[in-house]
Structure 1
Amino acid sequence: MSSKNLETRLRILEVTLQMLEENRGQGVRMADIAKCANVSRQAIYLHFASRAELLNATTKFLDERLDLDRRLAPSRAASSGQDRLALYVEFWGNYIPEIYGVAKALLLVLDSDDAAAAAWQERMAAMRHGCRAAIDMLHSEHRLASEWTPESATDVLCTMLSVANWENFTSVCGWSNQQYVERMKAIAERSLLKNESAP
Structure 2
Amino acid sequence: MSRSIEEPRNARSRRSRAALLRAARELVEEQGMAATTMAAVAARAGVSRRAVYLHFSSRADLISELFGYVNEVEDLEGRFAPVGDAPDAVGALEVFAHRHAEVMSRILAVSRAVEREAGSDPDAARHWETALFWRQETNRALMIRLHDEGVLAPGWTVDTATDMLLALISNGVTETLLLNREWDTTKIGEHMALLLHSTFVARD
TM-score by length of 1: 0.87
Q: CA deviation at 1:67?
A: 2.0
Residue in 1 that maps onto 2:200: 192
Q: Does 1:71 align with 2:51?
A: no
Alignment of 1:24-35 (within 5 A): 24-35=32-43
1:115 is displaced (CA, Å) by 0.8
3-state secondary structure, aligned to 1:2: helix
Q: Which region of structure 1 is more displaced relative to structure 2, 79-88 or 110-119?
A: 110-119
Question: Which of the numbers 131, 151, 158 marks the counterpart of 1:150?
Answer: 158
Letter in 2 for 1:115: D
Task: State percent identity of aligned pairs.
Answer: 28
Give the superposition deviation at 1:47: 3.1
Distance 1:50 1:20 in 2: 16
Cα distance in 1 for residues equivalent to 2:177 and 2:136: 20
User: Residue 192 of structure 1: CA displacement?
Assistant: 0.8
1:133 aligns with 2:141: yes
Measured after TM superposition, the shift of residue 188 of structure 1 is: 0.8
Unaligned runs of 5+ in 2: 1-8
TM superposition score normalised by structure 2: 0.85
Matched, 1:7 2:23: no
Mapped contact 1:71–1:91 kept (Cα < 8 A): yes
Q: Does 1:159 align with 2:167?
A: yes
Bigger CA drift: 135-144 or 176-185?
A: 176-185
